Amino acid sequence: MKITSILENQNIEKRVAITPEIAKKYLSLGFEVSLSENYASHLGIQDEEYKVLGVSISKNDKDIITNADVIVQLSLLGNDKSSLLKKNQTFVGVLNPYDNEEQINDLVKKQINIFSLELLPRITRAQSMDVLSSQANLAGYKAVVESFANFEKAIPMMMTAAGTIPAAKVLVVGAGVAGLQAIATAKRMGAIVFATDVRMASKEQVESLGGKFLTVEGVENLETEGGYAKEASDEFKKKQEELLSETLKKIDIVICTALIPGKKAPLIIKEDMINHMKAGSIIYDLAAIQGGNTAYTKVNEIVDKDGVKIMGESNILNKLPTSASNLYAKNVFNFVSNLYDKENKKININLDDEIIEKTLIK
């Protein structure tokens, strides 16, 4: 069995799907591993580190793709390389099937086995493969670091002979994996942290990290069976807006992390709320690429609205590509290992396995 990965479009994606540590694991399973030339050199990992393990390095992406049994990537290949994929090959990545429906359907028609890892079920056995959680964890951390770097005041309370500097107040909107890591990071750095989420199950998690959970009176529990947030009612949204409007007047830094899988990000922080925030405040919108949780959000721009800076990037993980690659590669390896029939040395698409059945795009 041959497994391969080629270099992503560096303007969009700096992460890689196979690190030297994981290449060694694939080889020990009996796979042949092929990578494109300078596959991870931008991360300080030279081709020689792969070669000494027994990995094949090639300048010809066409040969790598056409000869592979399994292709692992971060995202879909460009149209020029996607056309090289052929019947019975297995393609694994985070493929955003809601936005890439047409391209994915074309591949399914060619009888290519397409697995999109953001569709993993939230079950215990899938935790080691959970790409969304591993990457969101890093994103939540980095969003806080980026926000603090742009905030022009100290974060922790400081008591000096000249006077006391108060601690910065941080609000985290959405207490999923990214939000919880944002809370933990901001708290460790000395901020006073508040958080809000439509799922009441988040309250205990927020408070365990030292955050203060803001609850809408008469709240309804808006959590799907899979543990994600679902669309709120108009009545809930109105109550949430009132609570946020008052809270934001006192907040220095806001981290927005609210996403609904397969849908445009909910608009939570509206224009009039921002108009009443203090000048010098920062909003970091992790949902920017899906439309944003905040009015005025522009992807890859810092928008200054009367002194309030609104930030959002297309891929914040490009600022942590080595750490993100290490985690992603492990997630993918665990997924491929579950697909691989070691005895017969082949990919076994067992649809009785919930992990395989849920992630396979049919």
pLDDT tier, 344 (very low <50, low <70, confident <90, very high otherwise): confident
More confident: 39 or 242? 39
Structure tokens given for 294: 């905040």
Q: Which two tokens stand for residue 107?
A: 């591949």
Q: Which of 106, 122, 188, 337 is catalytic?
A: 122
Strand partners, 160: 163
Catalytic residue list contains 252 = no
228 is catalytic: yes
- Does the annotation mark 39 as catalytic? no
pLDDT tens for residues 280-327? 999 999 999 989 999 999 999 999 999 999 999 999 999 999 999 999
For residue 38, give the nearest of 21, 17, 66, 59 by alpha carbon.
Answer: 59
pTM of the model: 0.90
The full set of domains in the chain, from first to last, is 2-119+321-361 (3.40.50.720), 135-318 (3.40.50.720)
Query: Of these residues, 41, 83, 111, 127, which one is catalytic?
Result: 127
pLDDT at 343: 86
Residue pair 141/134 in contact (Cβ under 8 Å)? The answer is: no
Instruction: Say if residues 185 and 149 touch (Cβ distance below 8 Å).
Output: no
257 confidence band (pLDDT: 50, 70, 90): very high
Tell me if residue 130 is catalytic: yes
pLDDT reported for residue 200: 82
Q: Which of 228, 245, 323, 353 is catalytic?
A: 228
Q: Does pLDDT of 225 surpass 70?
A: no
Find all residues with CB under 8 Å of 149, minimum gap 6, and list them.
none
pLDDT in tens, 15-54: 999 999 999 999 999 999 999 999 999 999 999 999 999 9
What percent of the chain has a predicted confidence (pLDDT) above 90?
A: 82
pLDDT of 219 reads: 55
- Verify whether residue 147 is a known catalytic residue: no
What is the mean pLDDT of the segment spanning 96-110?
90
